[in-house]
Amino acid sequence: MFYEPKKGHPFSIDPYKSLIFPRPIGWISSISKKGIANLAPFSYFNALADDPPQVMFAAGAPVKPLNKKDTLSNILVTKEFVVNFATTTTRKQMNLSSVEAPQDVDEFLLTKLKKRKSKLVRAPSVADSPVNLECKLLKTLKLKSNTKKYTTMIIGEVIGIYIKDTFIQKGRVNSVAMRYVARMGYSEYTTVSSRFRMKRP
């Protein structure tokens, strides 16, 4: 089968997201100018580079550009954010935090998640996340849109990294033990539960 996305697709539901997987979920926490915390999951997320460490996520909204998502609005003002990671234990809270809540709603309170004070940024970290990446905004990029929906890519430099000691064993990080949750297609998710090694030639 072959099709051109701009001409539509022969499925009842667009299969695009189910073809590129698993996509790690960047559970982004930010804070407003008024000091209200915000927490939202983004499945268009990943690491970009490691010298210095940089991450990206894309925030889309089917509304006019002036009505940005709370996460994007907060980051544009404060120039900072934290990347947290959902696990099998916190997957329900992660899903709940995706709700379109008013700007004055603190998703930490909504989901009953504990905050952990970040070291270098004002935005709080998710205490139950195995890892917290404290970031400062580097740049934003408005992505192409064929509809009224607009998407902005946010690129941040990781200036602080917190790893729970539980997941550090013999000088290495035990990634599998963290049980990160990742997005697949449709309403499907998966978790990292195994690994294998290959040496570069």
pLDDT digits (tens, 9 = 90+) for 152-168: 999 999 999 999 999 99
Tell me what the pLDDT averaged over the chain comes to. 93
If you count DSSP H runs as helices and E runs as strands, how many of each does the chain have, helices first? Answer: 4, 14
pLDDT in tens, 108-147: 999 999 999 999 999 999 999 999 999 999 999 999 887 7
pLDDT-derived band at 67, boundaries 50, 70, 90: low
Is residue 152 in a domain?
yes
Is the pLDDT score of 66 beyond 50? no
Using an 8 Å Cβ cutoff, are 125 and 135 in contact? no
Is residue 199 in a domain?
no
User: For residue 124, what pLDDT is reported?
Assistant: 98
Number of structural domains found in the chain: 1
Q: What is the CATH number of the domain that holds 41?
A: 2.30.110.10
Torsion of CA 137, 135, 49, 151, to 10 degrees: -50
CA 65, CA 62: separation in Å to the nearest integer?
9
Torsion of CA 15, 16, 18, 22, to 10 degrees: -170
Is residue 32 in a domain?
yes
In this prediction the pTM is 0.93
